[in-house]
Amino acid sequence: MIPEELKEYAQWVCWKIIGRDAKRIKLPITPRTGKGARANDPLTWTTYEEATNRAWQYDGIGFFFSEYDEFVGIDIDHCIGPDGALSDLARGLIEKSGSYAEISQSGTGVHIIVKGKLSKPGFRTKTIEVYQANRYFAMTGNAIGAPVIKDAQELLDEIEEKIRKEREEKEQKRQENSTRQVLTTKVRHLDDETLLTKLFQQKNGSVIKLLYEGMDAKYGNTSEDDLYFCWCVNARNGNDLDQTDRIFRSSGRMRKKWDERHYANGDTYGYQTLLKSRAK
């Protein structure tokens, strides 16, 4: 039940299992030489006919995805239950793609092969792997539905966007945890209200009060005054950046920009301002 389209490409190999238990891997083999096949070397691949003719010497046949073809492979592990039922994820992707799908060699996973392009050779998460190059599938031909490969660019775009958002959310949580757990160097001794009262009473208190109310009263530059205001708070609370962040958010200076990413590494404007404002 392997699609005829795939059989036309000389991107086939055999494979054999090496290792035991958790260390078992499916090693791709060049049938005519018996040596290991490589993802970046098409000379180690062969035709479908040669791979199937020599398959009896090994554990199965496989197909390498290449940047020179239009195929993309979607791999979903552990998505078939003991009763043979597909997970919601696997069923949904098969239905949306309408393309060739097969039960994997383990009997508990699914391969889906579609036509389309990714922005990079591949993606991998805890639940799904997607590849258009530098990867091979151990093919079984144990098809779910018809052996026809269809264009699914819209679906691939959806998958990429979902993965991108998940990674951004994970990075944002990491940054937030870093601010709370790493950057706070001293425990504060005053509650927010008391600390603000102390700030307004000190020598430059009138300026700090105007800054707190949202005025650019120190340098006349919003970003520089954000930094100065945070520095004044940190000088009072011993660089308790959690408290400084909370006070800033309660002030007239708080605006949407505080939580926007402004740096190539994903840092927000507020996060970097807190970093720069630590008092010495």
Question: Nearest to residue 90, comparing CAs of 99, 100, 77?
Answer: 77
pTM: 0.63
* Sheet of 135-139, strand order: 25-29, 12-18, 60-65, 135-139
Percent residues over pLDDT 70 in the chain: 94
User: Where does the pLDDT of residue 178 fall: very low under 50, low under 70, confident under 90, or very high at 90 and above?
Assistant: low
Report in angstroms the alpha-carbon separations of 204 from 200, 201, 210, 228.
8, 8, 10, 12
Instruction: Over range 100-118, report the average pLDDT.
Output: 95
SS3 at position 238 = coil
User: Where does the pLDDT of residue 92 fall: very low under 50, low under 70, confident under 90, or very high at 90 and above?
Assistant: very high
pLDDT recorded at residue 123: 87
User: Where does the pLDDT of residue 179 fall: very low under 50, low under 70, confident under 90, or very high at 90 and above?
Assistant: low
| Residue 73 or residue 173, greater confidence | 73
Q: How far apart are CA 148 and CA 100, in angstroms?
A: 5
* Per-residue model confidence as pLDDT tens digits over 23-73: 678 899 999 899 999 988 999 999 999 999 999 999 999 999 998 899 999
Residue by residue, DSSP assigns 109-155 as: -EEEEEE---SSSEEE-SS-EEESSSEEEEE---BSS-S---B-HHH
* Per-residue model confidence as pLDDT tens digits over 19-33: 777 667 889 999 989
Mean pLDDT of the chain: 90
What are residue 15's DSSP bridge partners? 28, 60
Query: Is the pLDDT score of 177 beyond 70?
Result: no
The DSSP call for residue 46 is B
Instruction: Over range 139-164, report the average pLDDT.
Output: 93
Q: Which residues of 119-152 are buried (b: 16+ CB within 10 A; e: fewer)?
A: eeebbeeeebbbbbbebbbbbbeebbeebebeeb
